[in-house]
A and B are shown apart, each in its own frame.
Chain A
Amino acid sequence: MRFVHEGDPRYGEPELLKGNEAICEGAIWAGCRFFFGYPITPQNQIPEMMSRRMPEVGGTFLQGESELASISMVFGAAAAGARAMTSSSSPGISLMQEGISYLAGAELPCVVVNVQRGGPGLGNIAGAQSDYLQAVQSGHGDMRIPVYAPGSVQEMYDLMGEAFETADRARSPVIVLADAMLGQMAEPMQRRIDEPPPPPPKPWALTGARGRPRNLLTSLYTIPDDLEAHNREIDARYQALATEICRAAEYRTEDADVLLVAYGVASRMCQTACDLLRDRGYAAGLLRPITLRPFPAERVVQLAERARLVLAVEMSMGQLVQDVRLAVLGRCPVELLGRPGGNYSTAPDVVAQVIHLLGG
């Protein structure tokens, strides 16, 4: 077996970790020392592990009285200039929308992990991707929040470092959008053994106005011109980073005229489906967005231009497909294979759908 980072001196020996545990270790490597959260399945291993690990690394773990409080505690630690995070699952993330918006408004960095479960309402605890649209439009107000979508336990680990770095640079909350399957599955992964890059200076942090003018972190701008300028400033910071942080992975796309688009755990079924389709004579390839915001629209367009079929495969009722259609803008048909409720399409399901759509 080959590992993603085999031979890379920055990484240690392979070890077996659950996705939720990899989130914790990735955050700790990135220098996160403040965790606030509230129990909810299927992400409970994260607060449980953090309650043990944070004191070990000189950090703070606190179980908040609710998700509303937990994300506001993150606001406080972030305002102090610390790297802080929380994690939850779909219903809890709904409650955190308030805090995410206030963090964005006060231009504060943090990382919010959503280990998605089935919805709406209490739904169930099976893996789902039904919070895609909520994630890419996190919080009320007119701002864009970067969203990372890991597809393996290794990426659950790796993307935490990227998420914290992006959060600091964008001065914005960053969402890591996983799901129950990724959180609960154990896979071999390698952790970093080098030092993380130092976080940027945070002259805006609240540390007491000693020897400097006081700092004020607020999302309140009563004059429309001021709020518009504030919105534009937040957007400019995001746009300046967008091209650089936008990421996607590809599988067998070099000559593909059947393009599958899927993220997270759904992409793994699609990868197998590409092999199965190629065995049957279809030139199938997969584009897997790793950032959902910014969405890798340009690459979708490049690959769609030579495709006779684009199929979005998702564990939801047609959310990712909206971004794909928006990117393609009618250049070719974009179809959807989506299953909600904690269900998913298997590789043979994907194969059958492609053959059906191509009239085979």
Chain B
Amino acid sequence: MAESVKVAYAAPECMIDQTMHYCPGCTHGIAARLVAETIDELGIRDRAIGISPVGCSVYLYDYIDCDFAQAAHGRAPAVATGLSRALPDCVVFTYQGDGDLASIGTAEIVHAASRNERMTVVFINNAVFGMTQGQSAPTTLLGQRTSTSPRGRQAKGEGYPLRVSEMLATLEGPTYVARAALGAPKYVTQAKRFMRRAFEAQVIHGGFGMLELLSSCPTYWGMTPAEAMRWLEEGMMAYYPVGEFVDRRDRETSGSVREGGEGLRVSDR
């Protein structure tokens, strides 16, 4: 009997066996698992370096067993740049929320992508500041109520939700930019596929890969986990379409920054 039992589903090897601090119905846990699975599959745990930012995402270092640095709010791509340049054999990834990446860190993400900096960025978009208790984010949807947009976000005065992936897709630099949703299983399967490509953009192609993950925050959306899952599909995915916006993995690697003892050369194109 015992011999016939097979493990169908187990925790990724690089995942630390620990209770997560995330709220019920939050999809950070799925995102963390996808990162961990990808690290295992690519066999890069012992050369992976994660950058935790400020916000709920910071605790990723409690869940994945690899080297980690914790960056100032929004600066993870800059910290990753320093690490990536200093350690050409390592795999550097950031894991940033929308307050971090789309608000205070817009300059850092744009320029890291533009330089095609050798790194992977996992961008959690849940349309709200989670850790600071539900304030409006640049990604907050029109009409969405938050603790700092109590009447619902208005285009006049508060502007329109920022589509970061589409914005980065206007750049010549990045190797890979995609968006997926942590909703129904079919979307998670797609997210997994894209996650692998976002890491491969760095590991194989030596460039910048980013995956934006539409994520839930039932606590500060004021919803039950089930309602939040529905809203992820009906509200978030309606405004933020999933898909691959940039895929230059077949571009000659000369388009990306090269590492080596002789400083850096960028292509002469």
Q: Please tell me if the beta carbons of B82 and A78 are within 8 angstroms of each other in the complex.
A: yes
Q: Return the chain B residue nearest A65 by Cβ.
A: B111
With contacts A206-B67, A216-B61 taken as known, whether A58 is within 8 angstroms of B78 at the C-beta atoms is: no
Measured CA separation A286–B261 after assembly (Å): 46
Q: Confirm or deny: A346 has a beta carbon within 8 angstroms of a beta carbon on chain B.
A: no
Q: Which residues of A contact B71 (CB under 8 A)?
A: 72, 75, 102
Most buried by A among B70, B72, B82, B262: B82
B30 to chain A, nearest CB (A): 23
Mark contacts of A53-75 with chain B using CB atoms, 8 A cut-off: 1 yes-contact digit, 0 otherwise: 01110111110111011101111
Question: What 7 pairs between A and B have smallest CB-CB spacing?
Answer: A76-B82, A55-B263, A72-B78, A80-B86, A208-B47, A72-B75, A218-B70
Interface residues of A in 83-134 (CB under 8 A from B): 84, 98-99, 102, 106
Q: Please tell me if the beta carbons of B58 and A102 are within 8 angstroms of each other in the complex.
A: no
Q: How many residues of B contact A (CB 8 A)?
A: 39
Mark contacts of B232-269 with chain A using CB atoms, 8 A cut-off: 1 yes-contact digit, 0 otherwise: 00000000000000000000000000000111100000
Q: Confirm or deny: A148 has a beta carbon within 8 angstroms of a beta carbon on chain B.
A: no
Q: Please tell me if the beta carbons of A99 and B75 are within 8 angstroms of each other in the complex.
A: yes
With contacts A36-B82, A58-B263, A208-B48 taken as known, whether A76 is within 8 angstroms of B67 at the C-beta atoms is: no
With contacts A65-B108, A68-B75, A106-B70 taken as known, whether A76 is within 8 angstroms of B86 at the C-beta atoms is: yes
With contacts A208-B47, A210-B46 taken as known, whether A77 is within 8 angstroms of B75 at the C-beta atoms is: no
Q: Confirm or deny: A229 has a beta carbon within 8 angstroms of a beta carbon on chain B.
A: no
Measured CA separation A248–B87 after assembly (Å): 39
Measured CA separation A218–B54 after assembly (Å): 11
Q: Which residues of A contact B33 (CB under 8 A)?
A: none
Q: Which residues of A contact B20 (CB under 8 A)?
A: none
With contacts A59-B263, A65-B111 taken as known, whether A73 is within 8 angstroms of B48 at the C-beta atoms is: no
6 contacts between A and B (CB under 8 A): A69-B108, A70-B78, A74-B82, A77-B85, A210-B47, A220-B58
Measured CA separation A338–B264 after assembly (Å): 46
A108 to chain B, nearest CB (A): 9
With contacts A65-B108, A206-B67, A207-B90 taken as known, whether A72 is within 8 angstroms of B72 at the C-beta atoms is: yes
With contacts A60-B264, A73-B79, A208-B47 taken as known, whether A220 is within 8 angstroms of B84 at the C-beta atoms is: no
Interface residues of B in 78-95 (CB under 8 A from A): 78-87, 89-90
A314 to chain B, nearest CB (A): 32
Measured CA separation A56–B52 after assembly (Å): 33
Please tell me which one of the listed residues B78, B90, B110 contacts residue A208 in the complex, with CB atoms under 8 A apart: B90
A50 to chain B, nearest CB (A): 11
Q: Please tell me if the beta carbons of A73 and B70 are within 8 angstroms of each other in the complex.
A: no
Q: Which residues of B contact A208 (CB under 8 A)?
A: 46-49, 66-67, 87, 89-90
With contacts A76-B80, A76-B83, A77-B86 taken as known, whether A69 is within 8 angstroms of B107 at the C-beta atoms is: yes
Q: Confirm or deny: B69 has a beta carbon within 8 angstroms of a beta carbon on chain A.
A: yes
Q: Which residues of B contact A102 (CB under 8 A)?
A: 71-72, 75
Q: Return the chain B residue nearest A58 by Cβ.
A: B261
Q: How many residues of A contact B (CB 8 A)?
A: 45
Mark contacts of A204-230 with chain B using CB atoms, 8 A cut-off: 1 yes-contact digit, 0 otherwise: 001111110011111110000000000
Q: Return the chain B residue nearest A103 by Cβ.
A: B72
A52 to chain B, nearest CB (A): 10
Q: Please tell me if the beta carbons of B68 and A217 are within 8 angstroms of each other in the complex.
A: yes
Q: Confirm or deny: A263 has a beta carbon within 8 angstroms of a beta carbon on chain B.
A: no
Q: Confirm or deny: B45 has a beta carbon within 8 angstroms of a beta carbon on chain A.
A: yes
- A69-B75, A216-B70 are known; give 20 further A-B pairs, CB within 8 A: A55-B263, A61-B263, A68-B75, A69-B81, A73-B78, A73-B85, A75-B82, A76-B69, A76-B82, A76-B84, A78-B82, A98-B72, A102-B71, A102-B75, A206-B68, A207-B90, A209-B45, A216-B67, A216-B68, A218-B52
B223 to chain A, nearest CB (A): 27
Q: Confirm or deny: B40 has a beta carbon within 8 angstroms of a beta carbon on chain A.
A: no
Q: Which residues of B contact A77 (CB under 8 A)?
A: 82-83, 85-86
Please tell me which one of the listed residues B58, B67, B80 contacts residue A209 in the complex, with CB atoms under 8 A apart: B67
Most buried by B among A36, A62, A66, A220: A62
Measured CA separation A214–B47 after assembly (Å): 10
